[in-house]
């Protein structure tokens, strides 16, 4: 289930490619809509056993977004370079205070956005786990933030008791961040 028609069309194209050209089977039907509004009792979902949850995230692990973040921080940290050496200490102090205020606001905005994304991600995965025949739910993001990865998994496991955490991609030498005081086996995440 995709929220926008554009994403639904992209998913449909990907599914057609994998289903017809590679797997020679069709088991995925993209639906345009709000996943959180998908009714667990809807007949279309009664036999669904496997769900891949790839909800909206910050995209902080995407190289292009990481570059954008680095560039934005550089601009904020350096300010207007054309006026950096004008010799006016009063104006320099004022610009420094403005820059510090902007940095604080940016950090607050980022924290609020991560909290909202994290809540949405937890809600999506928990909703997926509520379908009557589901046996396996895979959660993925393209984020490097623990708020969208390890902490989301911890919150999900606190809310849902019918599932257990399993190691994905065991051949990968490293993924995730080790967590102290986790209420689940966080070694499965790294």
Catalytic residue among 8, 15, 32, 142: 142
Task: Say whether 142 is catalytic.
Answer: yes
Given a contact cutoff of 8 angstroms between Cβ atoms, the answer to whether 39 and 122 are in contact is no
Q: Which H or E element spans position 53?
A: strand 50-53
Could you tell me if 160 and 126 are in contact, meaning their C-beta atoms sit under 8 angstroms apart? yes
- Residues with Cβ within 8 Å of 148's Cβ and at least 6 positions away in sequence, in order, are 57, 58, 60, 114, 117, 118, 121, 141
CA 189 to chain centre: 15
| Residues annotated catalytic, as ranges | 142
């Amino acid at each position: 289930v995709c929220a926008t028609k554009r994403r639904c069309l992209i998913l449909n194209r990907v599914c057609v490619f994998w289903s017809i050209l590679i797997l020679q089977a069709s088991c995925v039907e993209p639906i345009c809509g709000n996943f959180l509004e998908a009714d667990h009792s809807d007949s279309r979902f009664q036999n669904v056993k496997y769900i891949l949850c790839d909800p909206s995230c910050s995209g902080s692990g995407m190289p292009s977004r990481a570059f954008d973040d680095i560039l934005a921080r550089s601009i904020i940290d350096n300010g207007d370079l054309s006026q950096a050496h004008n010799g006016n200490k009063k104006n320099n102090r004022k610009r420094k205070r403005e820059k510090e205020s902007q940095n604080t606001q940016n950090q607050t905005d980022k924290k609020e956005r991560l909290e909202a994304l994290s809540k949405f991600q937890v809600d999506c995965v928990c909703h997926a786990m509520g379908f009557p025949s589901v046996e396996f739910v895979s959660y993925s993001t393209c984020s490097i933030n623990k708020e969208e990865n390890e902490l989301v998994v911890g919150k999900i496991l606190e809310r849902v008791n019918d599932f257990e955490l399993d190691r994905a991609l065991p051949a990968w030498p490293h993924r995730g961040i080790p967590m102290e005081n986790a209420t689940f086996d966080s070694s499965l995440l790294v």
